[in-house]
Structure 1
């Protein structure tokens, strides 16, 4: 069961890499005001959602301790990210503030995962 848990952790990291990588590739365009949400960002966020739910379920099934407040905060941030990316995914240009907010929330989600113990 631990192997399955590690597989989902790896997939979760791939999801966050896709979301953050998509954001970083558009940083130059954000400066020019032409940034857009690329499909990798949406797919990465969805991957994070699915694998995150699976990770919580697998940890609960093995009676490992799960910090439900931490998971709730991370889920809330991810839902905001998903909502913004999904609604604005077809627009040719996304407002700098909205685009920057998605990047900020993504980085915040990473630091919550790493630093909240």
Structure 2
């Protein structure tokens, strides 16, 4: 079971890398006002959602304790990110504030995952 959990953790990290990488590669585009949500950002957020839910289930099946409040906060932040990216995915440009919000929420989600114990 531990090997399966580790595989899903790796996939979860790949999802966050895709979402954050899509944001970071467009830092210059933000200042120019031409930033847009890329398919990699959408797929990264979806990967995070699916693997996160799977990780909670696998950890509970393995009789490990799960901090449900932390998971709930992380999921709420991810749902907001996913909603914003999904709704605006076909637009040629996204407002600076909205794009920055997705980046900030992504970084916040990383800190929630790593700092909240």
TM-score bracket relative to the smaller structure? over 0.9
In 2, the alpha carbon distance for the partners of 1:3 and 1:63 equals: 15
**Partner residue in 1 for 2:70:** 70
The runs of at least 4 aligned residues of structure 1 exceeding 2 Å deviation read none
User: Which TM-score applies when normalising by structure 2?
Assistant: 0.99
Q: CA deviation at 1:87?
A: 0.2
Matched, 1:28 2:45: no
**Partner residue in 2 for 1:114:** 114
Q: CA deviation at 1:6?
A: 0.1
In 2, the alpha carbon distance for the partners of 1:26 and 1:80 equals: 20
Unaligned runs of 5+ in 1: none
Q: CA deviation at 1:115?
A: 0.2
Q: CA deviation at 1:72?
A: 0.2
Structure 1, residues 40-63: CA drift from partner, whole Å, max 9, x if none? 000000000000000000000011
**Partner residue in 1 for 2:99:** 99
In 2, the alpha carbon distance for the partners of 1:27 and 1:87 equals: 21
Unaligned runs of 5+ in 2: none
**Partner residue in 1 for 2:85:** 85
How many residues are matched?
117
Structure 1, residues 65-88: CA drift from partner, whole Å, max 9, x if none? 100000000000000000000000
